[in-house]
Chain A
Amino acid sequence: MNTGRVWKYGDNVNTDVIFPGRYTYTLMPPEEMAKHALEDLDSEFAKAVRPGDVIVAGKNFGCGSSREQAAACLRAAGVQAVVAKSFARIYFRNAINLGLAVLQCDEAVEALVSGDAIEIDFTAGTITSGGRVFKFFPLPESVLGIVQAGGLIEYTKKKLGL
């Protein structure tokens, strides 16, 4: 069980506001990426985020470009999961491939507000906050192997026997 705080945002949080294009083609270490996380959406976020915090957002989280830094910067910032009503397709894939948990749960998104304490139990499939419990569907079996291996690079290594 991991405890964190909620950072709540709206629908269509796009990759440009998660990780601005002006930094996209500069190779950056993860801790540097974390400093720019959500820079054009919420300038307080990168300064105040703590390990274990959770982003809660509406539909189509991560829409826009295919840049993986938009997933990597949140993981580097210590975000343990993004809970949203839905995710943009490429973002969803990138997050899994990089080991950032992405959970779909309409009820939690409706109920939670910024600053709420939140606990996520990935095995039980539950989100708990202030005595309220929300269930989420676990990831499809076909992608679980990648997550369990710790991301696509590790998964591929294993597949190639390296």
Chain B
Amino acid sequence: MGLTFSEKVLSQKAGRPVQAGEVVTIAPDYCLSHDNSAAIIGEFKKIGISRVKAPGKIIIILDHIVPAADEKYAQNHKTIREFVRAQELPHFFDIQHGVCHQVLCEEGFALPGKVIMGSDSHTTTYGAFGAFAAGIGRTEAASIWATDEIWLRVPETLQVNFHGSFPEGVYAKDAVLKLIGDQGADRANYEAIEFSGPSAGDFSISSRMTMANMAAEMGAKNGYFEPDTLTVAWVRARTMEDFEVVVSDPDAVYEAVLSYDLSKLEPQIACPHTVDNVKPVREVQGQPVHQVLIGTCTNGRLEDLEIAARILKGRKIHPMTRTLILPASRQAYLEALRRGTIQTLSEAGCVILNPGCGPCLGAHQGLLAAGETVVSTSNRNFRGRMGHRDSEIYLASPATAAVSALEGKITDPRTRT
């Protein structure tokens, strides 16, 4: 009987053949944390050892509230910087780099076949490169720092096959929203999702990252794209570290297999207050929009910013719709600067924010008042997440967000090019 990617990679790590349902204790390749490292340091100190076990495996990227919005956050950052120096951690990225999930990939840590645990739910993003990447809590991260070990249940796998190609105005975000809307926010709870089928290889790296990032919103432990020449070229441009491409066996056993025809898709939008409350954009068209957020680790890469800029070029956003641009990283920001994308967006009336997480989780930089509506390209629309509990969050693609910014109301991007 064949094995899935997740079964294979965890078998390698465990040093024995394992199948879905078994529990393994393994040493992960990397452990990511961000501003929550301050809390992890607190837990680590409770354990009572003085040094972390494997400093080279710890990656800390400050992104959630950067630059520090108040004194408490400033103290958190200071605590983390002091710990990094004291423990001599080699992989520390201070506030100027961007969102952890983008930076970790750009810095060449997200490699095929690696096992990466992250103290953030959207750690699933690195599956875009064929890594096994899953979110964990702070206490678990502290335990990995101390022991270089974690227990994991080997997940069953849901295979999602894509065929056909996207119609005009439809993107990876629409495909993954459609999937979550059809299947529900807990469909893949405790499971792995393999994104495959004849069209999976057509997705750009950026689109794969969008989809693997959103796998978390179906409850998945990890998402996965089979590495191809595009993947290998992308990671080899960033690191010379060894890796081994791990792929599922042709006769691997899946919990279920789903199939989607991309050519039949239309623009999708997740309505308040759950990510699986998904409708075609045309069904909610006309809803007034007070704020638009284009960016984040879900849709803040060059590809996303350029889609928005093409729509906004030479135009002005609606006067009642403030529009925030949140590049996923400094690298994405710099590329967009060089190509004139940032200038186009600024000229259209958008506010360009520094790369980071701020407004996506309602931490700072543009929160919503009661009764306000936002169209956001981020990954989560829970009640109160981006501000007041009586504000409404709609999740959509950068194209839908940009067109809605122009019109001042939710608008299907196919109605305007």
Contact = CB atoms under 8 A, between A and B. Distances in A.
A84 to B, nearest CB: 11
Contact of B362 (A22, A67, A68, A93): A22
A153 B145 CA distance: 12
Contacts of B276: 12
Contacts of B43: 153
A129 interface: no
Contacts of A40: 383-384, 389
B324 interface: no
Contact of A65 (B65, B121, B142, B186): B121
B298 to A, nearest CB: 14
Contacts of B119: 66
Nearest to A20: B384
A93 B185 contact: no
A156 interface: yes
B385 A21 contact: yes
A21 B362 contact: yes
A73 B196 CA distance: 40
Interface in A1-33: 12, 14-17, 20-22, 24-27
B274 A156 contact: no
Nearest to B147: A156
Interface stretch (A44-52, A56-64, A75-83, A112-120): A56-64
Interface in B182-201: 185-186, 189-190
B382 A64 contact: yes
A133 interface: no
Instruction: Tell me what chain B mostly uses at the interface: helix, strand, loop, or mixed.
Output: loop
Contacts of B385: 16, 21
B143 interface: yes
Given A64-B380, A68-B139, A157 B48 contact: yes
A126 to B, nearest CB: 25
Interface in A65-105: 65-68, 71, 86, 88-90, 93-94, 97-98
Contacts of B361: 21, 24, 65
Contacts of B76: 25, 27
B62 to A, nearest CB: 11
Given A25-B64, A25-B363, A156-B47, A88 B186 contact: yes
A152 B384 contact: no
A14 B382 CA distance: 7
Interface string B191-233: 0000000000000000000000000000101000000000000
B148 to A, nearest CB: 11
A156 B136 contact: no
Contacts of A66: 119-121, 135-138
B186 A59 contact: yes
B47 A153 contact: yes
A66 B139 CA distance: 11
Interface stretch (B32-40, B245-253, B264-272, B337-345): B32-40
Query: Interface centre among B136, B185, B186, B221, by most A CB within 10 Å?
Result: B186
B35 A17 contact: no
Contacts of A159: 147
B139 A151 contact: yes
A98 B39 CA distance: 14
B42 interface: yes
B49 to A, nearest CB: 6
A140 interface: yes
A160 interface: yes
Contacts of B174: none
B384 to A, nearest CB: 4
Given A40-B384, A98-B139, A12 B64 contact: no
A155 B222 CA distance: 26
Contacts of A86: 186, 189
9 contacts: A14-B274, A16-B382, A25-B36, A25-B363, A41-B383, A68-B138, A71-B137, A93-B136, A153-B139
Interface of B: 23, 35-36, 38-39, 42-43, 46-49, 64-65, 72-73, 76, 119-121, 135-140, 142-143, 146-147, 151, 153, 185-186, 189-190, 219, 221, 274, 276, 361-363, 380, 382-385, 389
Top 3 closest A-B pairs, CB basis?
A: A60-B186, A94-B137, A16-B382
